[in-house]
Structure 1
Amino acid sequence: MRLYIAIFALLCVANPALHAADLARYEPILKQADAVFVGPKSPARLSAMVAVHQATLDLGNPTRTDDGTQAWWFEQLRQRLKNNADPEVTYFLETELCFAPEPKKPAVMQTSAPVTQVPYQAGQGTMASLADTARSLDLGERPRLTVDQLRAMAKDTKLKADESDRALILLRRMNPALAAPLLWERLQSAKKRSEVMLWEEQLMRVPVKTIGKVAYDEKWSAPVKAAWLRIAAARSQLPVTAPSRAGWIELLKGPANENTEAAWDAVPRVFKASDRADLEAIAKTLPERLAPRAKLAIGLVR
């Protein structure tokens, strides 16, 4: 029974009489639209638009088998869009053409040739060795350089800065405990803001148990101080030696800069609920820029 239904459907699609019947059905709709699309607006134009839209929905149905009527209909709409000057009609036709089915994409040619795997060739030089080590770590393979070699390269002052920095980053991936002291040294000696951001990010990736303790130093530059405060604020337990309570209070009273913002971010880790009154008193004296941050930090104090 299904076979007979399928054969009947194919015959209907190929039947030119059915195609002619569709043309006889939809051509009057276009003629009615042509008569009212030109000239002043009228209720008849709205009726013609409704009829065109209904025909577009019928012919633009994705489940419809195209017998030529669908392509003919949307081509007629495109021709009328090109020859039309009325803004309202133009907008209407552009909207109707959105229902046009997408053209079928050509099939992608597939080759039967087998995929050949090219063996990896290890490079020569320091940067090549570091790149090979990073690749091995990404693939879960045995790294080309050992922890001791990376540590020696990170401490070697004769190497280029980018080579030494990359060796230290790889050392952090392989042994965070050995890398943490060197990362703190790099952060404290950083001169550029980009360097501070790099070493701050690397220290953020070091586990809390192995990050070590580094005392806050007033001699640091402002970006380094802010980085230290952000690292302290991001830890569930403060892993670094913090300033005294009076020192924290002075940091919170500072001007509207990144140091004061970082100090307020660390407030929930340093202060307790008993300090809430003092914090609220300090917050009242802050610039408008810091007020929302201080309010949020005080609300998180437990």
Structure 2
Amino acid sequence: MPQVRGRLTRSAPLAPLVWFKTGGPADWLFEPADVDDLSAFLAALDPALPVWPLGLGSNLIVRDGGMPGVTVRLGKPFAFARTADDGVTMTCGGGTSGILVASTARDAGIAGVEFLRSIPGTVGGFVRMNGGAYGREVADVLIACVVVLRDGTVKPMTVDQLGYTYRHSDLPDGAIVIEATFRGTPGDPAAIGAEMDRIAAEREASQPLRSRTGGSTFKNPPGHKAWALIDAAGCRGLTRGDAQVSEKHCNFLLNLGSASSAEIEALGEEVRERVKAQSGVTLEWEIQRVGLK
């Protein structure tokens, strides 16, 4: 492995870092000290080794065989949110949580990014996946981002270059989002805070937030709600081992205690089969499934 100034750990457990609390270890876990550390490491790394970024581990199944190559986790040096003098734009690090982005915008009187309060991930993850909720998505507020490519090149990209569609971008494999700039509109901090509180209360009431879950499991097919299709197929509460389809919100899968990643993924595939048989609709995974089985 190349020399680093950050932390490089061999055979690092990943289960504690993901919401499901399942999955095998990373061959290597790299937590860079800064952008230069990350760029130099990737430039010197064997090009044959895969590189994969890990955020808060929310929308994710790490398979039981673990992650080959290098898993990159952006820590405190990449967790920041700074507002600009224009009063409507802000620049955030790739390791910044959605809550911190939304709270910083609220304090600065920037409206339009309240929905990021409800996305349980980091800037790097929801920029890559065009994360969204409550009728808004990252494509609506992103101006540009900066990524480090697999070869270590630091590359600025505009929102138009990302090729955004529903829960998808054209960012190349191995590219790591280290910074993003968002634009909102002028707003009243009290009104922005009230909207954030409304979103938080609605999520708490409708989603199993205090469980071991991966968040929204399947994308909403055109003209449908995934949860309604799952419910109509009789999957609410369905189990496989200690994996369960949530009874509170059936587009969420749960680890009731000792489920394996294989059981969670197999339960998701069973849900897809039942929905296809009942409605003719093929559900697409929203949760990323990575690693070796």
What is the TM-score normalised by the length of structure 1?
Answer: 0.21
If each structure's strand is expressed as a fraction of its own residues, which one has the higher value?
A: 2
Greater CA radius of gyration, 1 or 2? 1
What is the TM-score normalised by the length of structure 2?
Answer: 0.21
Q: Which has the higher contact order (CA 8 A, sep 6+)?
A: 2
